[in-house]
A and B are shown apart, each in its own frame.
Chain A
Amino acid sequence: MSQPQTPVVAVTTTLLPLPRRRRERATRRRFEVKFAPVITPSALSRLATSPWLRTLYHGLWGLVLPALVLWLWFEAATHEWLPAFILPEPAMVRDTFVDLWVSGELWSNLEISLIRVGWGFVGGTLAGLALGIAMGLSKRVEAYLYPSFKAISQIPALGWIPLLIMLVGIGEAMKILVIAKAALVPVTINTQQSIRNIPRSLLEVAQVYQFTPRQLLSKVVIPATVPGVFNGVRYGLTHAWLALVTVEMLASSEGTGFLMVWGRQLGQLDLVLATIVVIGAVGLLFDVTLQQIENRLARWRRFAF
């Protein structure tokens, strides 16, 4: 350790705001090296300039708003600014949530919802894939079916609910049909378009190599369409979940959406708020899972070529 020469400058370097550009960082580092032996804890300052810490620092800002809302909520509860049927206490919502969790009420309702979404989503996706492939491969099928498909897709799943209740009753079939319709539309559109958008050059190369239809499908059509189709499937699941919540709120006596409407009817907003959290969490889980699969598929696709 050499004697301290210019401690003031050295301290300021660690207090400087987080740099934006690499160039700045480089000059700073050169600067630090010069004065490093003095008192600058260079490890600490390097940490302050590390991209990881910067991300964390910026991420913390995202917590400011929720913290503010939470604080206001606690304040409102302790000062009783609003009655409980307008805004229940945070502790009450937490207790309701724990209750739902422990008693198994949450799981039994969630299970019912997930089974409905599963059937509807799988059915809608398979039908959408078939329809999309048929309309994508054949101009004739497209000419016959596309206008009807377009007309049906113009009417949101929500609009079909009263009609389907009259036609097939208020049971599971109606719910699954509504969910399937919600998933079908984006899957069909994306499948059809990604088949249509296969680059001509790829098809020509396949022709030159005299690919059999099977090879054409496995080596060209599927790899070229997977990203687009998967995008449609992802939208399909989002729409299916939205449709499930809607149909359970409107015409059901069990399930997550029903739990919410029931809470509202009882005037228990704590139950409503707890269910909103569950609905948001499931939606997020679906999205993240499919995104992970999508990333993996994209990697696989790169290997395919």
Chain B
Amino acid sequence: MTQISQGRRWLTRDLRGWVLPLAILALWYTVTTWGIANTHILAPPQAVWLEGYQQLASGAFLLDLAASLSRDLAGLLLGGSVGFLLGLLMGVSRWTERLVAPSFNALKQIAIFAWIPLISAWFGMGESGKVVFIALASFYPMVINVFEGVRGVNRDYMEVARVYQFSHWQRLTRVILPAATPQILTGIHLALIYAWLATIGAEYFLKSGYGVGNAMIDGREHFNMGSVLFGVLVVGLIGASINWIASRLEQRLLRWR
């Protein structure tokens, strides 16, 4: 019984949420197929479907997706690991914090995309420039969260570690890192989101090679709205899945605690 009523509640909530998107879709369809709006400016919904089908069938979509995701991952690994180490170091040592934190906070103020012209001059418009930019974007949230997590470790834990005469390595792996896990996971989660944003941005600005962002920019240049809208959908869907995977991972890893 309860399961059924819960299921029904789910259904009603789902349906109410669908009203607005469906109304917009219906309006969009009517306006474009009855010739009220200029289809050169506003493509009909079918165009998106068709574009998606074509891109999937020709394999262009997979090529773009693979290119985007692999550079996203490369940048994330680079920026995330450097950020993790710096955050850890700053958290453990007050001297490192005093040395690095002011510069870090000053650089953090600069809007992330403002680095693109400099990065493109130093690392080129190709793959390395993009990866460096994505790495920079995932670096910031990682440093901040790992630092706060490590700094927030309870003093009592460290005292227990001292009593047991833990070595530095033992203190790190058995006390500091487990205690800081929730914050570190938050850092990874934010780094994932920022890295995906940076991937799209890098593909917009450093136009070379394949990528979901490149396909969108190309679509705009060729006035192919179907392609642009398909790109918007893909960007949103991948962002949402990354978010979902990260939350799931966080839940699972923290349940163990």
Contacts and interface: CB of A to CB of B under 8 A. Distances in A.
A166 B228 contact: yes
Contact of A148 (B20, B101, B102): B20
B75 to A, nearest CB: 16
B49 interface: no
A260 B205 CA distance: 13
Given A156-B239, A283-B111, A269 B17 contact: no
A71 to B, nearest CB: 14
Nearest to A265: B117
Interface size range on B against A: 35 or more
Interface of B: 13, 16-21, 41-42, 95, 98-103, 106-107, 109-118, 120-122, 197, 200-201, 204-205, 216-217, 219-220, 223, 225, 228-229, 231-232, 235-236, 239-240, 243
B223 A151 contact: no
A143 B16 CA distance: 6
Nearest to B221: A162
A279 B110 contact: yes
Nearest to B239: A154
B98 A62 contact: yes
Contacts of A257: 113-114
A159 B109 contact: no
B17 A147 contact: yes
A245 B111 contact: yes
Nearest to A65: B103
B99 A61 contact: yes
Given A64-B99, A245-B111, A158 B21 contact: no
A26 interface: no
Nearest to B21: A148
Given A61-B99, A275-B114, A156 B197 contact: yes
Contact of B118 (A64, A154, A269): A269
Contacts of A284: 106, 109
Interface in A222-277: 241-242, 245-246, 249-250, 257, 260-261, 263-264, 269, 272-273, 275-276
Contacts of A158: 197, 200-201, 204
A242 B121 CA distance: 21
A284 B111 CA distance: 10
A146 interface: yes
A276 B107 CA distance: 10
A145 B217 CA distance: 30
B16 A61 contact: no
Given A61-B99, A154-B243, A156-B200, A166 B220 contact: yes
Nearest to B18: A147
Contacts of A85: 121
Nearest to B96: A61
A155 B229 CA distance: 12
Contacts of A269: 117-118, 121
Interface residues of A, number: 52
A261 to B, nearest CB: 6
A147 B240 CA distance: 13
Given A148-B21, A158-B200, A284-B109, A61 B95 contact: yes
Given A64-B99, A163-B232, A250-B204, A143 B20 contact: no
Contacts of A86: 121-122
Given A144-B16, A263-B117, 7 more contacts: A86-B122, A146-B17, A147-B17, A264-B117, A276-B115, A279-B111, A280-B110
A160 B200 CA distance: 11
A171 interface: no
Contacts of A249: 113-114, 116-117, 205
B237 to A, nearest CB: 8
B66 to A, nearest CB: 19
A144 B22 CA distance: 11
A62 B122 contact: no
19 contacts: A59-B102, A62-B101, A65-B100, A143-B16, A147-B18, A151-B236, A154-B243, A158-B204, A159-B235, A163-B225, A163-B228, A166-B223, A167-B42, A245-B113, A246-B201, A263-B117, A276-B114, A280-B110, A287-B109
Contacts of A281: 109
A17 interface: no
Contacts of A162: 216-217, 219-220, 228, 231-232
Contact of A154 (B16, B111, B201, B236): B236
Interface in A93-113: none
B232 A283 contact: no
Contact of B113 (A151, A155, A160, A242): A242
A62 B103 contact: yes
B117 A165 contact: no
A272 B118 contact: yes
Contacts of B107: 280
Nearest to B225: A166
A58 interface: yes
Contacts of A242: 111-113
